[in-house]
Amino acid sequence: MAAASRKEPLIARIKAFVPEGETRRLSAVAQALRVSQKAVEEEVDGSYEGVCLNVGIRVGSGAARLPRSAWEVEHYQA
C-alpha cells in the first residue's frame, strides 16, 4: 500500500517517457507505463499539467479520425 502512495503521478511519468520535442506512439507510451491508452489520453487532455502535451494525430493543418493505434503523444515546450 505504501509503494502505491509513492508512485509518481501519471502525467509526470508521461512527460518523463516522452522527451520534450519528441513524439511517441500512444500504444508504446501506454505499454511502457503499464496503463491503458484511454488513461494516457484522458490524462493528457484532462490535466492542467498536461498543457505541454498533445495526444492524437496531425494531418497537415487539420485533424483526421484515425484508429487510436495510429495516435501519438507529443511533448512540446509550453
pTM of the model: 0.75
What are the backbone angles phi and psi of residue 17, rounded to the nearest 5°?
Answer: -75, -35
For residue 48, the number of C-alpha atoms closer than 13 Å in the C-beta half-sphere is: 0
The residue with cell 479520425 is 65
pLDDT of residue 36: 95
- Which residues are 72's β-sheet partners? 25, 56
Model confidence pLDDT, tens digit, residues 34-61:
999 999 988 888 788 888 888 776 555 5
Strand intervals (E) in 1-78: 23-25, 53-56, 58-59, 62-63, 72-75
